Chains A and B, each alone.
Chain A
Amino acid sequence: MKPFDDMLPEEQEAQQKELVALLHQAYHASLASTASEREQAIQRVGERLALMTNNAALPEETLPGQLNLEQTSLQEPAAFGGRPRRGKRAIQLLNTLAAVLVVSLLVGGSIVLFTTRQSTIAGPVGAPRTVRGEAGGLEMSMSITPGPYFLSEVLVAEMTLTNHTNTTFLLREGLCFPALGLEQSGGESPHYTLPLYGNLVSMGCHEGQGTLAPGQTITDQQYEILTSSGQVTLTTTAQFVKDVVTREAIHPDFGPVDVHGTSPVPNPLGHWPSLQIQVASHIPSDRLFSLQLQGSQVHINASPAFHLLYRYIVSCDSHGVTIDNGSQSWEPISTRVLRMPGSDCPGNVRWQYAVSAAGYAVVAGKYPA
């Protein structure tokens, strides 16, 4: 094994050395990947990290036991000592009155703003639609963006699964399949297809398993484009699995060994919670962004309050070969100017992009137009 010259202290610890060496041997003996697999793995990690960076908290940046200083530094120190003096009490009273006044102004102002500009502030308002199901000590729920619902709208679905039993359940989980999923069924013509065409490499998905411990709740969020009009059913699902042992040859020099895997089991809830929604075939005019292509940049006409979502495919034509890259799922963005990716392409570049937000229609375009 060739040692790295940039080893982590953890990699050099006596306890970890054996594990690290074993990892090297195992991967090089049986899991040695081809060049394309290596590129795919790198791309997948990049996308995953990009998603994590876009989210407010980077999980790996806050290690277990570390404090979130941003949160704690905002807290006032606790007051100690005896009763406040009379002068201080008067100041406190004035401060309280001032605070009440400020809060009243903020609340009043918010009411005025939201009642007059309801349709132009980020996202739909109103209570989300929620459905719950419970059986055998398991509880599952799904909440979706409030209506109106229309073709090509991006819904946000929040799904939760709670284990009220004393049993630990296993769930199929992986990069390509979150523990909780959302399925769309029913509906009629007209339909909508996201206009991003290309041949994105379906990166090899490690099939993993997650556990649902007693008392634990798992939550997943999913962006879903409404692709059919009429009566559409949204159903939240999960794949419960059980441990199985299979005989696999994981090393060319050895015979098969026992490897623990998983096998699907029937839904312990009996049926999955579902919601029926009526999807209009026309997009309301206030649920659409406008995009403006200027050179190889796209300017999004949306207020900073919107939490925009972005997907793209960039195709590079070089030496008679086309390579497509892009996002496999919606990515949150804060910018209002999109720049064409693929600057490292030695040949022609084509860019297809789509922008939306929760409760809004997908707006898509391409460059060259």
Chain B
Amino acid sequence: MEDNQLSPEERVERQEKYARLSQALRRLSPIQQELIQLRYGNDLHFAEIAAMLAKPEGTLRKLLMRTLRQLRMPYNQLERGK
């Protein structure tokens, strides 16, 4: 759902989620932050990233897979602690 379609309550909740996400992202290593940005900020496919970096697609997949798992943990902790 787009942000401008949210009710005031939902907007506040979304606002808090962004803050928690920002905090969780800061706990990742720089390389993990970069990969997250490439994938979700720049909307790059693995094949595109692999071709641009001349790196095996599998390596990038594994790196992102591990990054998502790691990101989930601090994010959940922050969610529980809200």
Contact = CB atoms under 8 A, between A and B. Distances in A.
Nearest to A52: B31
B77 interface: no
A194 interface: no
Contacts of B34: 41, 44-45, 48, 175, 206
A27 B47 contact: no
Interface string A140-182: 0000000000000000000000000000000001110000000
For chain B, the bracket of interface size reads 35 or more
Contacts of A23: 21, 36, 40
Interface stretch (A12-20, A266-274, A319-327): A12-20
Contacts, number: 132
Given A45-B31, A60-B62, A206-B30, A33 B41 contact: yes
B45 A253 contact: no
A17 B33 CA distance: 18
A27 B21 CA distance: 11
B26 A27 contact: no
Interface in B23-45: 23, 26-31, 33-38, 40-43, 45
A257 B19 contact: yes
A257 B42 contact: no
A16 B80 CA distance: 16
A254 B18 CA distance: 10
A20 B29 CA distance: 18
B72 A259 contact: no
Contact of A251 (B15, B28, B64, B65): B15
Given A175-B31, A209-B26, A20 B53 contact: no
A208 B62 contact: no
Contact of B59 (A8, A27, A60): A60
A26 interface: yes
Contact of A45 (B21, B35, B68): B35
A29 interface: yes
A6 interface: yes
A235 to B, nearest CB: 24
Contact of B29 (A2, A38, A208): A208
B62 A250 contact: no
Given A10-B69, A45-B38, A26 B18 contact: yes
A10 B43 CA distance: 17
A10 B63 CA distance: 12
Contact of B63 (A60, A175, A250): A60
A58 B31 CA distance: 13
A153 B35 CA distance: 35
A2 to B, nearest CB: 7
Given A6-B45, A26-B21, A63-B62, A42 B15 contact: no
A55 to B, nearest CB: 13
Interface string A204-226: 01101100000000000000000
A8 B68 contact: yes
Contact of A48 (B4, B31, B71): B31
B64 A27 contact: no
Contacts of A173: 30
In order of increasing CB-CB distance, the 3 nearest A-B pairs are A27-B41, A175-B30, A60-B63
27 contacts: A10-B69, A15-B72, A20-B40, A20-B68, A22-B18, A26-B18, A27-B40, A31-B41, A33-B37, A42-B49, A45-B38, A46-B52, A46-B53, A48-B30, A53-B55, A60-B59, A60-B63, A60-B66, A64-B66, A173-B30, A206-B30, A208-B27, A251-B18, A253-B4, A254-B18, A255-B15, A257-B15
